[in-house]
């Protein structure tokens, strides 16, 4: 399978093609178990420096004991730490989720606010966490930038920046708002499983035929073989691209 002509693909082309490929690979945009915005907020805070599976192993007991902000705001830190210990950094995380819950009670009547300007005022909540909560719990478009997203957007040639705010601004200009949340969360999943920091698994990557940082050429599978075909596929939303004038079957 010939690779895409990388030089002819713009950053916008790569962003849209990556969003399409990753959507087919990761059907769910969040693997954190939750039933409401409060649980999503707490689970997202707990997910720092650990796996979603680890978080999901402790949240049932945590939410059974503290089902809402009012309960967690007045929790005994030692008891919270004992429950969330498997997620790591449990001293800091317990302090953070208790503090965030207290702030929700003091300023937002115990409810998670659906505005990023309000969410980032909560203890331990930055733009990354706020965007995840907005997108997953409220369906409000947001592009979360963590270490995985920073790495993958640079490797894909979508940005040269390492500043999360600049990356968010640049990438969101390349995609429609309805794609922001899903794309960022799928980049995180892909960064955890395939595009690893030290040893990226390029031979297994579904983006390896157009990623500027890929160490291999794509093998197998039917993918658009040129920038024109990629644009056509993205525009029409189908697997088969319109044949270019003068194109000869079997040649690329």
Both tokens of 155, joined, read 């490797």
> Cα(242)–Cα(252) distance, rounded to whole angstroms?
14
Q: Scan for tokens 């899903």, then name that residue.
A: 182
Element (H, E) at 82: helix 77-84
Q: How many CB atoms lie within 10 A of CB 176?
A: 10
Respond yes or no: is residue 128 known to be catalytic: yes
Respond yes or no: is residue 85 known to be catalytic: no
> Cα(21)–Cα(247) distance, rounded to whole angstroms?
25
Long-range contacts at 73-82 (CB < 8 A, ≥ 24 apart) = 73/98, 73/101, 73/102, 73/104, 73/105, 75/101
Task: Give the list of residues 6+ apart from residue 130 with CB closer than 8 angstroms, or none.
Answer: 116, 119, 120, 142
Both tokens of 227, joined, read 């920038």
Q: Which of 93, 146, 150, 209 is labelled catalytic?
A: 146
The number of residues making up the chain comes to 252
Q: CB of 30 within 8 A of CB of 187?
A: no
Q: Which of 52, 93, 128, 209 is labelled catalytic?
A: 128
Catalytically active residues, by annotation: 128, 146
């Amino acid at each position: 399978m010939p690779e895409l002509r990388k030089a002819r693909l713009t950053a916008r082309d790569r962003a849209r093609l990556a969003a399409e490929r990753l959507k087919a690979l990761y059907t769910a945009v969040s693997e954190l178990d939750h039933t409401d915005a409060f649980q999503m907020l707490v689970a997202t805070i707990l997910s720092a420096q650990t796996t979603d599976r680890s978080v999901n192993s402790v949240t049932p007991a945590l939410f059974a004991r503290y089902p809402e902000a009012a309960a967690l705001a007045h929790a005994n830190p030692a008891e919270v730490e004992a429950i969330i210990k498997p997620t790591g950094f449990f001293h800091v995380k317990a302090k953070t989720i208790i503090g965030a819950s207290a702030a929700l009670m003091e300023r937002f009547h115990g409810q998670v606010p659906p505005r990023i300007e309000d969410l980032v005022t909560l203890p331990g909540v930055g733009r990354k966490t706020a965007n995840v909560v907005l997108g997953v719990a409220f369906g409000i478009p947001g592009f979360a930038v963590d270490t995985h997203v920073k790495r993958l957007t640079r490797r894909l040639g979508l940005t040269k920046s390492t500043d999360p705010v600049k990356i968010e601004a640049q990438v969101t200009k390349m995609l429609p708002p309805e794609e922001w949340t899903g794309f960022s969360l799928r980049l995180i999943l892909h960064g955890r499983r395939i595009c690893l920091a030290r040893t990226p698994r390029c031979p297994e990557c579904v983006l390896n035929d157009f990623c500027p940082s890929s160490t291999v050429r794509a093998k197998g599978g039917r993918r658009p073989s040129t920038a024109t075909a990629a644009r056509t596929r993205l525009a029409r939303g189908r697997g088969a691209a319109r044949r270019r004038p003068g194109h000869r079957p079997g040649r690329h």
